[in-house]
Amino acid sequence: MSKIKVVPCSGIGKVFGLMSREAALMVSDELAPDIAETACLAHIVTGDAEVVKEISGQKCITIDGCNAYCAAKSVKEAGGIVCEKYRSIDGMKNHRGKDAGDATALSDDGWVITTELAEKVAAKAREIAKEDKGNE
């Protein structure tokens, strides 16, 4: 079984992009490294043949920063199967008035929100992996 691809938005210059990237890294490096790995959105968007081949026909979870859903749209366009889409901005709804940080560094509250997001993504990745294992 190939690993589930977790693709965060690039969102350079925005805290929500940083939250997306950090959440994806938490999933692939700490919370579910046995079943999940990240893929670089910039390589997908630019059509990098190796990365596009890696995600084509593969189950993917995207983490976008905003309503544009650039990661989800790009993964789908490159042939990836988007099983679930998340937005880091949605995590702020449960933390109204909190400052998540800025484009270069998360605040303590930003890390709490990002960790919550990463845990949701990891749980979804486990659910997908369990379904796949049951279908083998």
Q: What is the DSSP letter of 106?
A: B
Alpha-carbon gap, residue 61 to 95, rounded angstroms? 23
User: What are the pLDDT digits (tens) for 72-101?
Assistant: 999 999 999 999 999 999 999 999 999 999
Q: Give me the helix-helix angle, 15-26 and 108-134, nearest 10°.
A: 50
For 49, counting Cβ atoms within 10 Å of its Cβ (0-12 exposed, 13-18 middle, 19+ buried), the class is exposed
CA 24 to chain centre: 5
pTM: 0.94
Confidence (pLDDT) at 133? 75
Each residue of 10-67: pLDDT tens digit? 888 899 999 999 999 999 999 999 999 999 999 999 999 999 999 999 999 999 998 8
Bridge partners, residue 63, by sequence: 8, 86
